[in-house]
Amino acid sequence: MIELLKYYRKIGKIQKMRGDNLEKWHFNKMKTMVTYTYENVEYYHKLYEDAGFHPSVLKKPEDLEKIPVADKDDYRCVPLEKRVSSAKKARKIIRLSTSGSSGKPLTLLSDTAELAKQRVKWFYAMGKYGYSPFDLIVHIFRSGTSQSEPIWSKFGIFRREIISVLEPPQKIFKKVREFNPDILVANRSFFLMMIDEFLKQGVNIRPKFIINIGEVLYPKDYEKIVSYFGVPILNIYSSVECGNIAYTCPEGNRLHLHHESIFINYFRDTEKVIITNYENYVCPFVNYDLGDIAKISFGDCCCGLSSPYISKISGKDNDFIYLKDGTRIWYQFFNVVVKSFDEVNQFKIVQHRDGSIDVLVKLFECAKPSADREALANGIKQKLAINLKHEQVSVRFVDEIPLGPSGKLQSVESSFRPKRGDEIEA
C-alpha cells in the first residue's frame, strides 16, 4: 500500500517535469529498458543484433532515435517464451489479451506489481476530476475480467461494478440505470448508443463525470455526450501493452502523457506511436510500434503542465451493426468475441444491405498452416450468437482486410438499416 502511495506521488512529480530534466529522465529509463531487454529477452536481443545496434551507443537523448523499432506484426508471430524475460522475478504472472479498436488481438504477460501501478494511474487521473473513494465506478468492459470483490468494497470504498460487453445492449442499459453510477466508464460508441436509447425512454442519469476509453472522442461526439450528461469527460488513451498512456486534464482538456511509466519516442520523425512501457519487466514493450498515429506537441497547458502531450490522434470510424428489430450492436462486442481466438490477426465485420453479416478474418502468418478453419469459424459464430441469434452470419478467411469507404481501417461497417415494422422471426 505504501509502495502505491509512493507511486501516486511519483506520478505527480514526473508529470511536472519539463525540458532537459524530462529528457534526462526518459533517456535514463530508456537506456535501462534497452539494456535489460538486450540481456534478458531473446526477441529484443535478436532485433538489436540484426540491426547492428548495441545499447552502449546510447550516450545522449538524441541517440534514442537509433533504437530499432519492434514491429507489431513481427512481434505477434514470435512465440510468447521468446518475448518473456529470462530474469523475471517470482511475482504473480498475469496473462492479458489486447482489446484495441483495430481488431488485432495479442496475448502478453504482466505481473501484479505492474497492474497495481496501472490502477494507481487511474486514480491519479480520476483525482483531477474530483474522484472520491466512496464513488461507485461502473465499467462497461470485456468479460473474463476478475470480478472478485475486494475486502474494502464491503465498507463502501473503492466500489467498482463491471458490466460485460457480451450482454445484450438492453440488459446493459438496464444495469446502468439501476447502478446509477458516480462514474461511468465505457467507449464512445457505447455512450452514443446509450444516449439515444435513454433520450427515447426519457431516462436521466447524472454521474459526477464519465470516462471515455478505447475509442477516440471526436469533437461532435464530445458535444453530444457532454450535452446529455452535463458533466466533464475524462478521456483516457490506453493499450493493453502499455496500460494508460495519456489522460485529459479538466482545465485544458489536453491529453497529457503518463511520462512516469511510458515514453513515446518523439525523437523519431514520425507520427507513429513508437512506445516503451517502463513498468513491465516480464514481457517488455520497448520502442514498440503500437499501430496508432498520434501527433506529439510541446507547449504549456492552462492546468500548469509543460511536458509534451498528444495534440491529435487518429481514430477508426467504427459503425454499428443493426439487428432487424432496430437494436444496434457496437464494435466492442465483436472485438471482444473475435479477439478471444488467438489465431486471429485482424478482423472486420461487414453487414450487407440485406442485413446478412460477413466476418472477415485474417490469420497470423504463423497460425495459418495449422489452423482448423472450420472449427475456428464455428467457434466465432457460436460466440457471436449471444447477440446475433437471428442474423445470417458467415465467417470468411482473407489474406488482406479491406479498408472502409473513408480509406481508414474500420472494424465494423454496415450498409443495412432496418425498416420500421420489420419483425424478428422467432
Binding residues vs Zn ion (CB under 5 A): 249, 252, 254, 301, 303
C-alpha closest to that of 252 among 183, 293, 310, 211: 310
Based on CB atoms, which residue is closest to Zn ion, 203 or 301?
301
The pairing of beta strand 93-97 with beta strand 107-111: antiparallel
Tell me how far, at minimum, the Cβ of 12 lies from Zn ion, in Å.
Answer: 13
Q: How many Å apart are CA 198 and CA 177, to the nearest integer?
A: 9
| Residues sharing a CB contact under 8 Å with residue 80, sequence separation 6 or more, in sequence order | 107, 108, 109, 283
Judged by beta carbon, residue 28 or residue 297, the one nearer Zn ion is 297
Nearer to Zn ion, 102 or 238 (CB): 238
Residue 303: CB minimum distance to Zn ion, A: 3
Residue written as grid cell 537506456: 31
Question: Residue 411: CB partners within 8 Å, gap ≥ 6?
Answer: 101, 102, 103, 316, 318, 331, 334, 335, 347, 348, 349
Nearest to Zn ion of 83, 256 (CB atom): 256
Phi, psi of 175 (to 5 degrees): -65, -40
Cβ proximity to Zn ion: between 38 and 266 the closer is 266
Contacts of 370 (CB under 8 A, 6+ apart): none
Cross-strand pairs, 243: 239
Minimum CB–partner distance for residue 367 and Zn ion (Å): 43
Nearer to Zn ion, 34 or 305 (CB): 305
What is the smallest separation between the CB atom of 357 and Zn ion, expressed in angstroms?
42
Strands 262-264 and 136-141: unpaired
Q: Decide if 80 contacts 109 (C-beta within 8 A).
A: yes
Q: Which one, 69 or 303, has the nearer CB to Zn ion? A: 303
CB 16, min distance to Zn ion, A: 12
Query: Per the structure block, which three cell numbers stand in for 345?
Result: 490477426
Q: Which helix (H) or strand (E) holds 194?
A: helix 188-201
Minimum gap (Å) between residue 310 Cβ and Zn ion: 11
**Cross-sheet strand order for the sheet of 262-264:** 159-164, 136-141, 183-186, 209-213, 233-239, 243-248, 255-257, 309-313, 288-297, 272-277, 262-264
CA atoms within 13 A on the CB side of 149: 8
In angstroms, what is the minimal distance from the CB of 14 to Zn ion?
15
Nearer to Zn ion, 61 or 252 (CB): 252
Give how far Cα 30 sits from Cα of 24, 295, 308, Å.
10, 21, 17
Cβ nearer to Zn ion, comparing 97 with 253: 253
> 94 vs 303, which CB is nearer to Zn ion?
303
Query: Smallest gap, in angstroms, from Cβ of residue 329 to Zn ion?
Result: 36
Query: Phi/psi at 42 (nearest 5 deg)?
Result: -55, -45
CA dihedral 172, 177, 179, 180 (to 10 degrees): 140
Q: How far is the CB of 125 from Zn ion (least distance, A)?
A: 11
As a whole number of angstroms, the distance between CA 333 and CA 281 comes to 31
Residue with cell 523519431: 268
Q: Please say which residue, 136 or 303, places its beta carbon nearer to Zn ion.
A: 303
Minimum gap (Å) between residue 129 Cβ and Zn ion: 12
Least distance (Å) between residue 300 CB and Zn ion: 9
Grid coordinates representing 30?
A: 530508456
